[in-house]
Amino acid sequence: MKIGILTSGGDCPGLNAVIRGAVLNGVISHDAEFVGFRWGWKGVVEADIMPITRHDVRGLSKQGGTILGSSRTNPFEGEGGGPDNIQRTLDEHGIDAIIAIGGEGTLTAARRLHDEGGINVIGVPKTIDNDLAATDYSFGFDTAVEIATEAIDRLRTTADSHGRCMVLEVMGRHVGWIALHSGMAGGAHAILIPEQPQSIEQICEWVESVRGRGRAPLIVVAEGFTLDSMGEAHSHKGLDAFNRPRLGGISEQLAPIIEERTGIESRATVLGHIQRGGAPSAYDRVLATRLGMAAVTAVYDRAWGSMVTLRGTDIETVSIADATHSLNRVPQHRYDEAKILFG
């Protein structure tokens, strides 16, 4: 078989490890041939296709980013878009199946191409946010948490030196998993996540209680967090390619308010894309490699329209529809557990 691979949506440490896992399993176990679509669905729509050999994936599991490039192109748009045109392109290039590695948007597009046009697609979940349902963890999350935790550790020493309040902003558009895990790992005094709007009074109460014990307060906030007085998440950077607000900057809103209300000098740090760059952790390399290998097995099982997933310690297969109908949000009991440590 000839299998085409694409990476779409925001990049994520571990994408290259998925590609390597797929190619090695395909070549070794099935004598498969591989090509890559450049820049996500854009490469499918524009037939921008490159060969991927076993040689091309050498040493790739530790490499950040994606050798194929990524974008937020919609595969239903443009001259070569839509299931009929895409099937024609696949036929012209003798491609039997697509392995689509992406988040909820990419996988929804993959499901529609399969359901509406019969395209042979297998999905692989990727997101540093860990917001995809139907998989216990997604690769990239562990790496992002590690990077955010290191940032907390570093902010703590400078905060202590000046007696300041530090507000660290991490990614997490709809869910607060990165904030929750890095905040717990780094001993944050408050963790603010999209699932749990808070009042500014409550935040300042936590800050003052920390100062009362002679400590420098450290707050972790996810970019999608809202104060209970805000209608929607803070955004001042315009829209993304799919016309959604680009988030970021809530920490810069909070720090001056905290300073004004508590009198504690406060600083904001936006960690941004540092969380998505660089080498994946060992955990993410293993998870990504296993998912890539399993995606090829799913191709040979002709399990079209399904996604490979982590359940406990096993890699399983679910329908993409099941994986995309809801988000993996931080449940109440996990927040309540973390909250015992606030203030």
Ligand X SMILES: Nc1ncnc2c1ncn2[C@@H]1O[C@H](COP(=O)(O)OP(=O)(O)OP(=O)(O)O)[C@@H](O)[C@H]1O
Ligand Y SMILES: O=P(O)(O)OC[C@H]1O[C@](O)(CO)[C@@H](O)[C@@H]1O
Please state the residue numbers annotated as binding site for Mg(2+). 104
Per-position x/- string for 265-304, each x denoting binding to ligand X as judged by CB under 6 A, each - no binding? ----------------------------------------
Least CB distance from residue 317 to ligand X, whole Å?
19
Q: What is the secondary structure of 51-111 as a DSSP string?
A: EE-TGGGTTGGG--S-TT------TTSSTT-SHHHHHHHHHHTT--EEEEEE-HHHHHHHH
Binding partner of 8, given Mg ion, ligand X, ligand Y, none, CB within 5-8 angstroms per partner class = ligand X
Least CB distance from residue 10 to ligand Y, whole Å?
4
Find, among 50, 79, 62, 49, the residue nearest to 20 by Cα: 62
Least CB distance from residue 203 to ligand Y, whole Å?
22
Of 128, 147, 296, 318, which lies in the binding site for ligand Y, with binding defined by CB under 6 A? 128
Residues noted as catalytic: 129
Helix or strand run (H / E) with residue 186:
helix 177-186
- What percentage of the chain's residues is helix, strand, coil (to nearest 5)? 40, 20, 40
Closer residue to ligand Y (CB): 129 or 195: 129
Q: Give the C-alpha distances (Å, rounded to integers) separating 131 from 46, 103, 258, 283.
A: 30, 9, 29, 18
Binding partner of 172, given ligand Y, Mg ion, ligand X, none, CB within 5-8 angstroms per partner class = ligand Y
Q: Are the C-beta atoms of residues 169 and 254 closer than 8 Å to each other?
A: no
Closer residue to ligand Y (CB): 42 or 173: 173
Window of 36-44, 168-176, 290-298, 328-336 that interacts with ligand Y by CB under 6 A: 168-176
Does 103 bind Mg ion (CB under 5 A)? Our answer is yes
Least CB distance from residue 124 to Mg ion, whole Å?
14
Least CB distance from residue 224 to ligand X, whole Å?
12
Task: Quickly tell me which residue has 């993304």 as its tokens.
Answer: 240
Binding partner of 171, given ligand Y, Mg ion, ligand X, none, CB within 5-8 angstroms per partner class = ligand Y
* CA 112 – CA 118 distance, rounded (Å): 9
Cα-to-chain-centroid distance, residue 199:
28
Does 10 bind ligand Y (CB under 6 A)? Our answer is yes
Q: Which residues ranging from 124 to 163 are in contact with ligand X (CB under 6 A)?
A: 127
Closer residue to ligand X (CB): 26 or 103: 103
* CA 97 – CA 116 distance, rounded (Å): 16
Of 172, 217, 280, 292, which lies in the binding site for ligand Y, with binding defined by CB under 6 A? 172
Closer residue to Mg ion (CB): 53 or 242: 242
Q: Are the C-beta atoms of residues 221 and 173 closer than 8 Å to each other?
A: no
* CA 42 – CA 46 distance, rounded (Å): 6
Which residues make Cβ contacts (< 8 Å) with residue 276, sequence separation at least 6?
10, 11, 12, 13, 128, 140, 144, 171
Closer residue to ligand Y (CB): 10 or 36: 10
Window of 103-111, 196-204, 225-233, 271-279 that interacts with Mg ion by CB under 5 A: 103-111
* CA 199 – CA 206 distance, rounded (Å): 11
* CA 137 – CA 276 distance, rounded (Å): 16
Binding partner of 108, given ligand X, Mg ion, ligand Y, none, CB within 5-8 angstroms per partner class = ligand X
Sign for the CA dihedral angle at 48, 54, 58, 61 comes to: positive
Does 170 bind ligand Y (CB under 6 A)? Our answer is no
Binding site for ligand Y (CB under 6 A): 10, 103, 127-129, 171-173, 223, 240, 247, 276
Binding site for ligand X (CB under 6 A): 8-10, 72-74, 76, 102-106, 108-109, 112, 127, 241-242
